[in-house]
Amino acid sequence: MSGTPRYTPYDKGRFQLTLGIKTIDPAEWIEVDGHYPAQMAEKRRLLSERPDEVFGALPESLAAQAECLETLLAHLGRHRRGLVEGDDATLEIPGTGDRFDRAAFADRPLDLAGRLVQEDLCLMAPSGDSWRLIAASLCFPSRWRLADKLGRPMAAIHAPVPGFNERLARPVDRFFDRVEPGQLFMRLNWSVIDDPSLFQPTGHGRSGHDETITADNAGDVVWLRIERQTFVRLPGTGVLVFGIKTVVDPLSALAGRPALAAALRGTLTDMPDDMRRYKSMAPFADALAAWLDRAAG
């Protein structure tokens, strides 16, 4: 969690269901911040206690998994020197003390890749005129379960998202088709939630009212959850790596930033009702609006 939000995709003050994809420097693929040790410890815990919920792979994904790991290691060696050290037999993270025997991950190299970086890593493979999820290291899902999505095409994966298949499914497929090796693209996804936990496999569509969240305490018990999503094509297998770096900030990060508070208030007001329901904002919607009104001055 961070006291000052780095990413503010709601700053336009209006709701937009768009791809919002931009090109960035390939050197910026993997982002490392001060929460690295804590997030890697949480990944380690989840992979130990709930392995089948946070890692999954289809048999045909093995070559792409291996290519993803090697591509990631090459990137870290060039652009994040010192984060991971090792050789063909062993990898070590000096900052956490984690040490991995590479041979132990021969049948699931993406699992090893996911243990090296804060990003979750999902592998999407072309399938007919769409793309299909064939493997993922997904420790920090934003209210979706890997078991429900593995092996499924883009439209099925996003079916619960209001308006996605009608407006974005084909543009996403076309965008994936056009990504070339060596390019890096990024977009931001966001939500406002009442739980700072990184691992959230469920929680969409909640209703009712939470009386414990008020205009006075919303800044401390409501959270801004941002996903920095990246897209990289593996040159050998042609599989696309969908990376998800999750950042959680308390709503209080907007205190003293009236323009941002006003922009978020406007975006939430502009958001369609079905999207608000999908994002489970009903339990604290009134308290959130009142807090933002105060913060906006």
The C-alpha torsion from 221 through 227 and 228 to 232, rounded to 10°, is: 160
CA distance 30 to 117: 7
The token pair that represents 297 in the structure block: 């001055």
247: β partners: 226
The C-alpha torsion from 10 through 15 and 17 to 21, rounded to 10°, is: -30
| Phi and psi based region of residue 77 (left: phi greater than 0; alpha: psi -120 to 50; beta: remaining) | alpha
Three-state DSSP class for residue 124:
strand
CA distance 185 to 24: 6
Give me the pLDDT at residue 176, please: 93
Q: Answer for the pair 117, 30: CB distance below 8 angstroms, yes or no.
A: yes
CA distance 163 to 16: 11
What ranges do the domains of the chain cover? 22-187+230-251
pLDDT in tens, the chain (297 residues): 445 788 999 999 988 877 889 999 999 999 999 999 999 999 999 999 999 999 999 999 999 999 999 999 999 999 999 999 999 999 999 999 999 999 999 999 999 999 999 999 999 999 988 899 999 999 999 999 999 999 998 888 887 787 777 777 888 889 999 999 999 999 999 999 999 999 999 988 788 889 999 999 999 999 999 999 999 999 999 999 999 999 999 999 999 999 999 999 999 999 998 898 889 998 999 999 999 999 999
pTM: 0.94
Give me the pLDDT at residue 3, please: 53
**Beta strand 185-193 pairing with 223-233:** antiparallel
The 10 Å Cβ neighbour count of residue 27 is 11
CA distance 40 to 18: 31
